[in-house]
Amino acid sequence: MGKLIGKNKLNCAVFISGRGSNLKSIYVYSKSKISKINLKIVVSNKSNVKGIKFAKKNKIRTVVLNFKNQQYAEKQLIKLLSLNRIKLICLAGFMKILSKNFIKKFKYKIINIHPSLLPNYKGLNTHQKVIENKEKYSGCTVHYVNEKLDSGKIILQKKVKVLKSDTAQSLAKRILFYENKLYPKAIKKILFKI
Ligand code: GRF
């Protein structure tokens, strides 16, 4: 793995499928004076989403790939990422499960944000499940991506109280606020390990 040396910023790609609020928070961090990352590319499996519009508006290169043929899409991605010397991939609401082969190629260079206190509530519909199980706390986790879904080493977590009045929607909204703060913090934490 390469080291982050001197003034060189680490090239970073963000993968999305939708709204892109975490993309936005990573972008804002990348533009701050203290940032050591250069957000070079936004990859999406969907073209007409808010995150892509945000990236275009802010002049970040966007690449939309059709994942119907995932093997082909990943082949294109590998080329693109190595041509652009991408050293960190941030999954931010990316709704596709990357292949083992792809993950192996970027070991310890792919991170993800998940809206629960992992290892609890892996997968989809976390907030609904948390409410149904009457949990007192939920939260969000940034973790490395390995071959098993939502199971890689945890980088940072934020615990969030579940209110009695919470619905899945209100809880999702409150946790998202903390997700947007946690993602840049987690990037800062791992930068010198990449
Ligand atoms: C977030 O809740 C994230 O934890 C989950 O998908 C959502 C993406 O939101 N993986 P956004 O597109 O970053 O706003």
Rounded CA separation 96/103 (Å): 12
pLDDT category at 192 given cuts 50, 70, 90 is confident
Rounded CA separation 137/96 (Å): 27
Joined together, the tokens standing for residue 58 give 């802010």
From the alpha carbon of 23, which atom of ligand 1 is closest? 13
From the alpha carbon of 172, which atom of ligand 1 is closest? 2
Rounded CA separation 139/174 (Å): 9
Distance 93 CA to ligand 1 centre (A): 4
3-state secondary structure of 62: strand
Pairing of β 61-64 and β 88-91? unpaired
Please provide the average confidence, as pLDDT, over all residues in the chain.
95
Judge whether residue 26 has pLDDT over 70: yes
Share of the chain above pLDDT 70, in %: 95
Joined together, the tokens standing for residue 20 give 């892109």
What confidence score (pLDDT) does residue 8 get? 82
Point out the catalytic residue in the list 40, 109, 114, 143: 114
Distance 193 CA to ligand 1 centre (A): 25
3-state secondary structure of 145: coil
Top mutation candidate among 176, 177, 180 for ligand 1, by most atoms within 8 Å of CB: 176
Alpha helix ranges (H) inside the chain: 21-31, 50-57, 70-83, 100-105, 126-132, 168-190
Joined together, the tokens standing for residue 138 give 């939920």
- Examine the residue annotation and report whether 114 is marked as an active-site residue of this protein: yes
Which residue's alpha carbon is nearest to atom 10 within ligand 1? 93
